[in-house]
Amino acid sequence: MTLPAPAPIYYSKRLRLYLSDLWSRREFVWFLAIGNFKARNASTALGLFWWVLNPLLLSLVYYLVFGVLFDVGRDIIYLMAGMFVFHFTSQSLTGGANAVLQNSKLLANLRFPRIILPIANLIEATLGFLVSLGVLLVIAMLAGLPGLRDLEWSSGLPGPGFFLLLIIIPLQLMFNLGLAAIAARLAVPFRDINNFIPYLNRIWLYLSPIIWPLSFLDDRPVMGRFAEWNPMFALISVYRTALINYEFQPRMLLYSAVWSLVVFVVGVGLFVRYEGNIVRHL
Amino acid sequence: MSTRPAILVEDVSVRFRPYVDRKPTLRRSLGRLRHREQEEVIALDGVSFRVAKGEAYGIIGRNGAGKSTLLRCIAGTLRPNSGKVVVNGKLSTLLQLGVGFNPELSGHRNIYLGALAAGLRKKEIDQIFDDIVEYADLGSAIDRPVKTYSSGMFSKLAFSVSMHLDPDVLLLDEVLAVGDVAFRAKSMKTMQELLDKSGTIVFVSHSLESVEGFCDRVLWLQDGRVMAEGDSVEVVGLYKEAATGSTKNA
**B100 vs A3, A106, A192: nearest CB:** A106
Residues in chain A: 282
Say yes or no for a CB contact (<8 Å) between A111 and B77. Answer: yes
pLDDT of residue A130 exceeding 70, the answer is yes
**Number of neighbouring beta carbons within 10 Å of residue A191:** 16
Spatial distance between the Cα atoms of B163 and A21, rounded to a whole number of angstroms: 23
Min Cα separation B4/chain A (Å)? 14
Chain B residues closer than 8 Å to A111 by CB = 75-77, 119
Q: CB–CB of A8 and B121 under 8 A?
A: no
Give the separation between CA B78 and CA B22, rounded to whole angstroms.
18
Q: Please, what is the average pLDDT of chain A?
A: 82
Mean pLDDT computed over A230-245: 89
B129 within 8 A of B111, measured Cβ to Cβ:
yes
Q: Could you tell me if A234 and A89 are in contact, meaning their C-beta atoms sit under 8 angstroms apart? A: no
SS3 B230: strand
pLDDT at A172: 96
Q: How far from B28 is each of A18, A79, A110, A282, B12, CA to CA, in Å?
A: 31, 47, 19, 10, 21
Chain B residues near residue A276 by CB distance under 8 angstroms: 79
User: Nearest CB to B104: which of A39, A105, A280?
Assistant: A39
Backbone angles phi, psi at B221, to 5 degrees: -105, 140
Say yes or no to pLDDT of A116 above 80.
yes
What pLDDT score does A139 carry?
78
Q: What is the pLDDT of residues A165-215, one digit of tens each?
A: 999 999 999 999 999 999 999 988 888 788 889 999 999 998 888 888 887
What's the gap in Å between the CA of A3 and the closest CA on chain B? 5
Mean pLDDT of A87-106: 88
Q: Where are the beta strands (DSSP E) in chain A?
A: none
Q: What is the pLDDT of residue A12?
A: 47
- Single out the residue of B16, B23, B13 nearest to residue B39, CA to CA: B16
Q: Does A232 have pLDDT greater than 90? A: yes
Task: Please indicate whether, in this complex, the C-beta atoms of A108 and B92 are within 8 angstroms of each other.
Answer: no
Task: Report yes or no: A41 at the B interface, CB cutoff 8 Å.
Answer: no
From A116-125, A221-230, A231-240, B167-176, the region with the lowest mean pLDDT? B167-176
Residues of B near A (CB-CB distance < 8 A)? 16, 21-23, 25-26, 72, 75-79, 84-87, 89-93, 95-96, 99-100, 102-105, 109, 112-113, 116-122, 124, 145, 165-167
- Geometric angle at alpha carbon B12, from B233 and B245, rounded to 5°: 40
Q: Quick one: pLDDT at residue A8?
A: 38
User: Rounded mean pLDDT of A149-154?
Assistant: 43
Q: Is it the case that residue A99 has pLDDT exceeding 70?
A: yes
Question: In degrees, to the nearest 5, what angle opens at C-alpha A99 toward C-alphas A98 and A104?
Answer: 95
DSSP state letters, B78-134:
S--SEEEEEE-S-EEEESSTTTT--TTSBHHHHHHHHHHHHT--HHHHHHHHHHHHH
Nearest CA in chain A to B116: A28
3-state SS class at B146: helix
**Residue A118 confidence class, pLDDT cut points 50, 70, 90:** very high
- From A3, A35, A112, residue closest to B165, measured CB to CB: A3
- Cβ of B76 within 8 Å of Cβ of A6? The answer is yes
A255 close to A169: Cβ distance less than 8 angstroms: no
In chain B, which stretches have pLDDT less than 50?
Answer: 1, 20-24, 32, 35-38, 250
pLDDT band at A9 (very low <50, low <70, confident <90, very high): very low
> What are the residues facing B58 on neighbouring strands?
B203, B218
* Cross-chain Cβ contact A1/B165 below 8 Å: yes
pLDDT at position B36: 47
- Adjacency order of strands within the sheet including B217-222: B91-94, B169-173, B200-204, B56-60, B217-222, B225-231
Could you count the other beta carbons within 10 Å of the beta carbon of residue A200? Answer: 14
- Tell me the mean pLDDT in the region A256-268: 95
**Rounded to two decimals, what is the model's pTM?**
0.82
What are the tens digits of pLDDT across the range B3-24? Answer: 688 899 988 898 887 654 444 4
Mark yes or no for CB contact A191/B23 under 8 Å.
yes
Nearest-CB residue to B122 (from A27, A42, A110): A27
Q: At residue A5, does pLDDT exceed 80?
A: no
> pLDDT per residue over A30-44, tens digit each?
999 988 888 877 767
Question: Is residue A6 predicted with pLDDT exceeding 90?
Answer: no
